[in-house]
Amino acid sequence: MKGLIWAALLFFTLSIAHTKQVVVCYYGTWATHRAGQGRFTVDHLDPHLCTHLVYAFAGINTQGQVVSMDPKLDLAENGGADNYGLFNELKRKNPALKTLLAVGGWNEGSAKFSRMAASPTLRRNFINSAILLMDKHGFNGLDISWLYPNQRESPNNQADVNNFSVLLKELRVYFDERGLLLTVAVSGAQEAASKSYDVASLVQYVHLVNLMAHDLHGPWDPFTGHNAALQVQTQATLTIESTSDVTSSTKMYEDPHRGMICKADSRTQT
């Protein structure tokens, strides 16, 4: 089914203290630039397939402001395609649909986020610009896809972990005043997550945790493993104990301090 191409990454969405089913789908806008049958535009999106659609990605400039990474595609100005507008018009077909703008992604790196999160001035720039952009184009919320705090040549290293929590806390205050959603995309690999997140703090400030349950195994392993295994894989010939699976990953995002469990209550289309 062609419509499944646009959910390019496998995510599990963890709903913080909610019981309503949530199905979050990411639209990788770079698919618009493909040739032939691989091309996938907003027109191909089914607005009834998911409860939340995430537009990936926006970026960050040197002033900490959220900006379009592809203005000719995203914006209407100067003869642009106005993909932001077209994306949010999908809510006319499904008024219950929620749309979010994802900021970050792999290509945006970690350094820009690190510098922004470390500065009260740049954090304020980030928050204000995000709110203005969402108000202008009709998004219901923001998805933070910082890949990854305290990794990938981050200039502030370990300080990123606390700074990320501070950023989310400040965002949530301003977003709650305006009825905006705040979500995060986080690593499902336990080794990476332990370096990047204070999980107990993080889950307090977001509405949803989008767990990146992919690349759990690859050529870096001394054994063969599924890219996005639901359960731990065991083989008699292996002596390595692996916790790289979706089930183990979701357990990392429990908050024992509040007795709150992040419940994996959505299905992901890939």
Dump the DSSP string for 13-54. EEEET--S---EEEEEGGGGG--GGG---GGG--TTS-SEEE
* pLDDT tens sequence for the chain (270 residues): 444 334 433 445 555 445 578 889 999 999 999 999 999 999 999 999 999 999 999 999 999 999 999 999 999 999 999 999 999 999 999 999 999 999 999 999 999 999 999 999 999 999 999 999 999 999 999 999 999 999 999 999 999 999 999 999 999 999 999 999 999 999 877 788 889 999 888 889 999 988 887 777 788 888 777 777 666 655 433 333 444 444 554 555 544 333 223 333 333 332
Q: By the 8 A CB rule, do 146 and 64 touch?
A: no
Q: Tens digits of per-residue pLDDT, 159-205?
A: 999 999 999 999 999 999 999 999 999 987 778 888 999 988 888 99
* Cα angle: 214, vertex 218, 224; to 5 degrees: 115
Pairing of strands 98-104, 141-145: parallel
Taken in order 256, 258, 212, 154, is the CA torsion positive or negative?
negative
Tell me what pLDDT residue 200 has: 86
Q: Does domain 2-264 have CATH number 3.40.720.10?
A: no
Question: If you ran DSSP here, which 8-state letter would residue 184 be given?
Answer: E
Q: Which of 105, 196, 96 is nearest to 140 (CA)?
A: 96
Q: Tens digits of per-residue pLDDT, 143-156?
A: 999 999 999 999 99
**Domain chopping of the chain, boundaries:** 2-264
Q: By the 8 A CB rule, do 11 and 24 touch?
A: yes
CB neighbourhood size of 202 (10 A)? 23
